[in-house]
Structure 1
């Protein structure tokens, strides 16, 4: 069970109060949201505002309110929210079927503009409008299933690297090691990450480590132990990466995680 009524966890989360769901291929935050400093995800973000007003700022310094948006990987943006805002924020692993589906729809010369993010949301969220989207926002798994349509197969070497990577996250991970195990050159494997996931290997590795740290925290590990178990140098390193990717301190996400501890 989540513990949204635990006062210590709520104080740590500040304006961000809700539930963080962590599932294979995606994570989601559902609840009251606050501001987020400029950041760039290594995941595809789906934002659905269910109550209140959220404003996004894109890399061109255009700032405007949105009800729903789909933001591609590696695009720097900021979020501003009034005190009453409730929303769902869904983050899709770019290697997942749903992540690849949305990435393909967001490609193009204007992928870093708010109007493109809103257009993608109008096209890909339930067609009945925000009422239906609001229902889906309470159960993001329904959205993920809808987007996880069969896609062309990944290159076998990339598949091998993606299967191997989670086993190595507790320590140093070199692209050369993954390439050697997959029987491919380093440059070729690096190209496959960028070409098929729209994300170079280093940010994908940081994203994988961050997910692993969240899994460990959900199992009851302290922030320091979660950081070390996911291959970060220390909790400060984990904090820097979380701020880079979410514009938040890790405590704001971890405070809302389901816990396996009593």
Structure 2
């Protein structure tokens, strides 16, 4: 059972947990994990928080680079979110991906931590050009859910509600949540943890926002997105590069939630 008070929270993962889409590299990233830390700190004022997530990391890299440092911090709360960077590749062994995630689940829970993860929405409903990998994402969810069940890991069912694919919850690159999306994810995980004062408001649809776009406008938006984001992403893949090359975790050590790390903003 989850606790309502924690001493040390560590986030492991990729760009989603790092906070891309919520802030920028100039002024700092926030993201759902920082927002969750702020929520946890409301009932655990002495909470210490580290965020080891780095953009572009695949599940195996998260395990290889982040698990040992996380265990050394002996967290009583941890979040593990990875796998999307794997399924975006042309070839992806889902069993291998989930094997890395399950190894992290097992190690952290064996040490006594409450561990939470979340489900990924159908990317084909966010980006029509990504429909070919939509089934792969849903299959990944099923495997993660099963692995989580074997280790008592809490699962925020963030993909089970229609609002998860509302464009307003996603940034212009359609790969990362917008600030509103990050806030919804944080609320979902907080509710899954059973934190005092949380509820299921994160499942509710957003207000209707004008008429539906025409097919022509949708097609034009797809072309702009492909040129602005998909093209550069493909070029990096062909060159064997990653958006996270040379980057380090934004908050590699445990700090009070009210204390910023480098250029990253406070989680409050």
* Structure with greater proportional strand content: 1
The two structures share one fold, judged by TM-score above 0.5: no
**Relative contact order, CA 8 A, sep 6+: which one is greater?**
2
TM-score (norm: length of structure 1): 0.26
